[in-house]
Structure 1
Amino acid sequence: MISPLKMPYELSIQWLRTHYLKNKITPQEVIDVIIQRSKQDEHMNIWITPPDLAFIQPYLDNLTDINIEQAPLWGIPFAIKDNIDLAGISTTAGCPDYTFIPSQHATVVKHLIEAGAIPVGKTNLDQFATGLVGTRSPYGETHNALKGEMISGGSSAGSPVAVARGQAAFSLGTDTAGSGRVPAALNRLVGFKPSLGAWSTKGVVPACASLDCVTVFSHNIEDAKIVDHVVRKYDDQNAWSKELPIPSPKLPKKICLPKSPLHFFGPYGNQYKAAWYKSVEQIKSWGIPIEWIDNHLFSNVAKLLYEGPFIAERWADLGSFVDNHPGSTFPVTEKVLKSGANENFTASLLFDTMHKLKQYKLQVKKLLSDSVFITPTAGGTWTREQVRKEPIRTNSEMGEYTNHCNLLDLCAISVPFEDADQDIPFGVTFFALSEHEDFILGLAEKCQVNSTEMESQANIELVSSNDSDSVLLAVCGLHMQGLSLEHELHEHRATFIREAETAKKYRMFKLSTNPPKPGLIKTEKEGSSIKIELWKCPSVTFGSFVANIPSPLCIGKVELKDGSEVQGFICEPYATEYAEDISNLGSWRELIR
């Protein structure tokens, strides 16, 4: 049985399923680690109903009646945005006075549980799914998973952060204006928004019922596809449900890129702009014909969502609650919702706008008949403090490249590209017609393969370069991937580079600390080569990381197998006098295997 301490920080369906099938780990152990991680991250306001065995245990017990071979999500933990129903657990939609306890699961949740998935909690959100920033919640501002002072993105704020912080393998969000894509990009995740109606919205608190869509956040395309296969079913109890086949990924004949200058904003606007240009060069290298198109068409449609009578649909769904519960709604949320009651939004204006939209759809259908349209997922990001000072403008700019999507009945997927800056992820979105989900998934798969190859090459270059802004660190114990102190490296913005080995000049001891830790000592005789990991830590955070290392451990020079030296964990010799020599194991992992 594998120790739960070896569970990777980033969970995935494939890793969990592989280890379940080999009986190396149990769902109970996975949930125990998730609960521990959620408590460590409590200050990040990820959850409204956090992971707790009190409600999770029955789902674990039910696994005994489910055949793992026939259940593609057996034992896979997932998070649920708290505007999607989980039977017996409060649905708040981010508003305490709106709270109710549903007797049934939302249809998508029901399908996932039937496939063996384990719901671990309900996540924080911009109240009533009205926002793209993740700060509009009485349950607290959700922190970005990588850089705490930045926004998480919204409205599905807690769902992507739960996945990025290792508290779920995937999560459900909703997307009306970009809520399933913007927070994916801001937390370095995949955000898949299927075509409208492909996934049932029964059991989802409506934002704009005709445009609402349930979405998935995951670390990779394959996990998103598995979830799609499970939940894509026609629901005859849901008026918006459609019979749409499971897409088979394939490449489009053409890629459309925006011809007009794009708008970049926020404290990392210049970095976002540079990241977009790098992304375009990567896209060009795919060898698919490219057409540069006038993107004002999409910008004009985007403005219709909040600047025209379509906003009245939000008021139609929630207006009576807001009017009957004064003071219950978050102030900025109430302001947005009440804009839908504008007396100038007449029925005739609504029909006029609908007819205009119909013409836009016709143009887009011709334009994207065999193509995928690509834009940045967002043109920038903001600190949470900046959003507090200007809640309307900052939120509006976050949706500049997303708001058009559902109005035009497009499918979309946001995928991570090269980061804009240290711990500032950058995402790109692929858009296609509703009937061409195959195109966006095909491109996403191609992008993922290329990114993996580029990352591998970049890791080699990083190890051989002299980067004055970072420190290459050799890790040999509890800070290694999947072990109990890995989170400390992530909290200091360190990134894993590769596995490596020391020169054959070291001895490793099992120190009598609590918990036990390895002590690495260099010797010129009878030495061994010890397996380690190399991590890159920013210079600005390296000092604080070192300051937290308890005696008898310390940081010194570690010689690698190739003769080069890096900073790494070593031990004061006095601590090894009565310690067990485990050098023959060759790795700390072998001791706890």
Structure 2
Amino acid sequence: MMVHEDAVPAGPAGNFLEGAAAAAWITRLAAPLAGAAGGPLAGLQFAAKDNIDVADVPTTAACPAFARTPAVHAQVVQRLLDAGAALHGKTNLDQFACGLNGTRSPYGPVPNSFDARYVSGGSSSGSAYVVATGQVDFALGTDTAGSGRVPAGLNNIVGIKPTRGLISARGVVPAAQSVDCVSIFARTVAVAARVLQAAIGFDPEDPFARSLELETRPLPAQFRFGVPSRLRFFGDTQAEAAFERSLAQLRALGGSPVEIDYSPLSEAAALLYDSALVAERYAAVRDFFDGHDSEVIEPVRGILAQGRGYGAADFVDARVKLQALGQRAAAIWADIDVLLVPTAPAHYTIAAMQADPVALNRNLGEYTNFVNLLDYAAISVPACLREDGLPFGITLIGRAGSDFQLAELGQRFHHATGLALGATGQPLPPPETLPQIAPVPTVRVAVVGAHLSGMPLNGQLTERGARLVEATHTAADYRLYALPGTVPPKPGLARVAPGEGAAIAVEIWEMPLAHYGSFVALIPAPLGIGTLALAGGRSVQGFLCESLALDGADDITSLGGWRAYMAQRTAPAPA
């Protein structure tokens, strides 16, 4: 039998270091449970939310009267141990995974890792805290309505909410079994993605497991991200300002915002608690709840009790309505590649949450509740620290199977922030090549004229997923001409003998190799593609002009580049 420390109820965390750490754990193993030697996760330490079974350790779901001691590990725990990770214990949660704030536990509220006066987010509160503070490398949570994302966003860590059914939920106390997901917390996307890869595996004994073909291509360099038509921050102006900064950062990564109709997503989210769908939460613990409801704390007891009042026909009606909303929501994906939302639109103190536990908890789920109901994948990544020092996170949402594609963009976004790792103060390590993402072969091409950014033909590059790498100059061996009779005006670049040319301004663009042929096919004579020598001794494919076409062309070499020539053409004539 495994040796472990007894679970001791913790009072409200008063001391940030001692009280908070105690509240984060329900069971801390006296010695970590070692994983297999040499596996892909060897050397990593992890924790599991205490609604996930670990053999010979009580599973409480934060309800001592419910506690049972399983004989075997949950399937996901077994897979991670087999992959080499070492388990350190079980973490606190909102009771029966019913909440998004981390205060609904008899073992004590779990405070925020940056400021103990504030909520950690829930229901996977303890898992997020022990990752953010560096006690383990990653942790398992669960996510039905945002429990694997909200705590990540509020603690400056990464939270992956996988596509439903990719990770087995066998051995997990259900919250709403048809939409439950095991989630992953880590301080970097790379670690979270490695854990996800190890955790995925079809389990025929999980009634909601499935095997999907995952998207392995990264998003194109120029992508479209949806932004809800209606954004609410419930008076939290610092969260609103942080989201605006996040929009600008995603634009800098090549994204173009597209406003989407948020109403079908919002209506779907409301069904989770305001319809017969809440009966699934009651059904998950009915056998225990019907005989021991007095052992369940409020407001969890009231939420579960709601489910008793609905009949089978009510549940069917709610499922049909959800299906119809899913059809409406599907239309947004014709115009976007990914959806961007705030992970949490506001951040509350523990005192405020306990004073108004239902309304403020509902606010935290404004942008999370619909995701599992509509079968999307999601990742929450750190975005910034607000002016008050509290973390703010964004969530990237994609269609089922886009898990690693979202992770690739999430890693690029996270590493562009320059934030530290969780609450540790340690710098982010270099980004890593993520599992499952196949590298896309690319080619670089130098453009000198109408294909420059902002010029008339630049769209021929961007519509092929090309991205601007740098602005630079050729070696000093070229002359630049304005070709006569071309619309739009086009330049001719020609290499000349050493000492007879100059350095000419160019841009280097990188595009997927698969699209390069169609781009070259658009280039009209006398222009063509050849090898350009760049300043510093490098060379790259780029535009050149046949020498015969330069007869009668204006030599504009002295201007140094096409932009200067076009600026001169459009400048007003002197009076």
- Equivalent residue, structure 1, for 2:406: 440
Which residue among 104, 123, 127 is the counterpart of 1:155?
123
**C-alpha separation in 2, matches of 1:91 and 1:306:** 26
One-letter amino acid of the counterpart of residue 350, structure 2: R
Q: Give, in angstroms, the shift of residue 406 of structure 1.
A: 0.5
The change in CA–CA distance for 1:101 and 1:497 in structure 2 (over 3 A counts) is closer
Is 1:47 aligned to 2:25, yes or no?
yes
SS in 1 for 2:255: coil
The change in CA–CA distance for 1:355 and 1:49 in structure 2 (over 3 A counts) is same
- Equivalent residue, structure 1, for 2:289: 322
- Equivalent residue, structure 2, for 1:282: 249
SS in 2 for 1:298: helix
**C-alpha separation in 2, matches of 1:431 and 1:331:** 32
SS in 1 for 2:88: strand
Which residue among 314, 318, 326 is the counterpart of 1:361?
326
One-letter amino acid of the counterpart of residue 287, structure 2: S
SS in 1 for 2:90: strand
Q: For residues 333-372 of structure 1, what are the structure 2 equivalents within 5 Å? A: 333-342=300-309, 345-368=310-333, 371-372=337-338
Contact 1:265 1:381 in 2 (8 A): no
Is 1:265 aligned to 2:231, yes or no?
no
SS in 2 for 1:91: coil
Which residue among 197, 207, 222 is the counterpart of 2:165?
197
Which residue among 74, 78, 85 is the counterpart of 2:46?
78
Contact 1:319 1:338 in 2 (8 A): no
The change in CA–CA distance for 1:178 and 1:226 in structure 2 (over 3 A counts) is same
One-letter amino acid of the counterpart of residue 378, structure 2: A
Is 1:169 aligned to 2:169, yes or no?
no
Long gaps (5+) in structure 2: 1-14, 429-575
SS in 2 for 1:102: coil
SS in 2 for 1:255: strand
SS in 1 for 2:299: helix
The change in CA–CA distance for 1:430 and 1:496 in structure 2 (over 3 A counts) is closer
Structure 1 stretch displaced more, 433-442 or 138-147: 433-442
Contact 2:98 2:175 in 1 (8 A): yes
**C-alpha separation in 2, matches of 1:168 and 1:131:** 24
**C-alpha separation in 1, matches of 2:52 and 2:204:** 18
Q: For residues 444-593 of structure 1, what are the structure 2 equivalents within 5 Å? A: 444-452=410-418
Q: How many equivalent pairs are there?
A: 411
The change in CA–CA distance for 1:428 and 1:147 in structure 2 (over 3 A counts) is same
% identity of equivalent residues: 37
One-letter amino acid of the counterpart of residue 322, structure 1: F
Q: Give, in angstroms, the shift of residue 451 of structure 1.
A: 2.1
- Equivalent residue, structure 1, for 2:205: 237
TM-score (norm 2): 0.68
Contact 2:124 2:141 in 1 (8 A): yes
Q: Give, in angstroms, the shift of residue 40 of structure 1.
A: 5.2
One-letter amino acid of the counterpart of residue 392, structure 2: F
- Equivalent residue, structure 1, for 2:366: 400
More helix by share: 1
**C-alpha separation in 2, matches of 1:191 and 1:259:** 21
One-letter amino acid of the counterpart of residue 261, structure 2: D
1:441-473 deviations in whole A, cap 9, x for unaligned?
232122123224xx59xxxxxxxxxxxxxxxxx
How big is the alpha-carbon RMSD for the aligned residues of Structure 1 and Structure 2?
Answer: 2.3
- Equivalent residue, structure 1, for 2:150: 182
The change in CA–CA distance for 1:94 and 1:362 in structure 2 (over 3 A counts) is same
Contact 1:374 1:430 in 2 (8 A): yes
**C-alpha separation in 1, matches of 2:25 and 2:76:** 20
The change in CA–CA distance for 1:367 and 1:97 in structure 2 (over 3 A counts) is same
Q: Give, in angstroms, the shift of residue 219 of structure 1.
A: 0.7
Which residue among 339, 348, 352 is the counterpart of 1:386?
352
Structure 1 stretch displaced more, 183-192 or 72-81: 72-81
**C-alpha separation in 2, matches of 1:249 and 1:333:** 42
**C-alpha separation in 2, matches of 1:246 and 1:258:** 24
**C-alpha separation in 2, matches of 1:418 and 1:124:** 26
- Equivalent residue, structure 1, for 2:568: none
- Equivalent residue, structure 2, for 1:103: 71
Structure 1 stretch displaced more, 247-256 or 81-90: 247-256
Q: Give, in angstroms, the shift of residue 232 of structure 1.
A: 0.5
Which residue among 331, 336, 339 is the counterpart of 2:298?
331
Which residue among 98, 110, 135 is the counterpart of 1:130?
98
Is 1:213 aligned to 2:181, yes or no?
yes
One-letter amino acid of the counterpart of residue 410, structure 2: A
Q: Give, in angstroms, the shift of residue 435 of structure 1.
A: 2.8
Contact 1:229 1:246 in 2 (8 A): no
Contact 2:112 2:120 in 1 (8 A): yes
Which residue among 44, 48, 57 is the counterpart of 1:89?
57
- Equivalent residue, structure 2, for 1:10: none
**C-alpha separation in 2, matches of 1:444 and 1:496:** 19
Contact 1:372 1:439 in 2 (8 A): no
Long gaps (5+) in structure 1: 1-37, 457-480, 482-486, 499-593
Contact 2:100 2:123 in 1 (8 A): yes
SS in 2 for 1:365: helix
- Equivalent residue, structure 2, for 1:291: 258
- Equivalent residue, structure 1, for 2:548: none
Q: Give, in angstroms, the shift of residue 316 of structure 1.
A: 1.2
**C-alpha separation in 1, matches of 2:317 and 2:214:** 35
One-letter amino acid of the counterpart of residue 80, structure 1: A
Q: Higher Cα Rg: structure 1 or 2?
A: 2
Structure 1 stretch displaced more, 387-396 or 313-322: 313-322
**C-alpha separation in 2, matches of 1:67 and 1:497:** 29
- Equivalent residue, structure 1, for 2:535: none
Contact 2:214 2:402 in 1 (8 A): no
1:399-444 deviations in whole A, cap 9, x for unaligned?
1110000110000000110112333100100111103224312321
**C-alpha separation in 2, matches of 1:368 and 1:186:** 28
Q: Give, in angstroms, the shift of residue 202 of structure 1.
A: 0.1
**C-alpha separation in 2, matches of 1:177 and 1:235:** 23
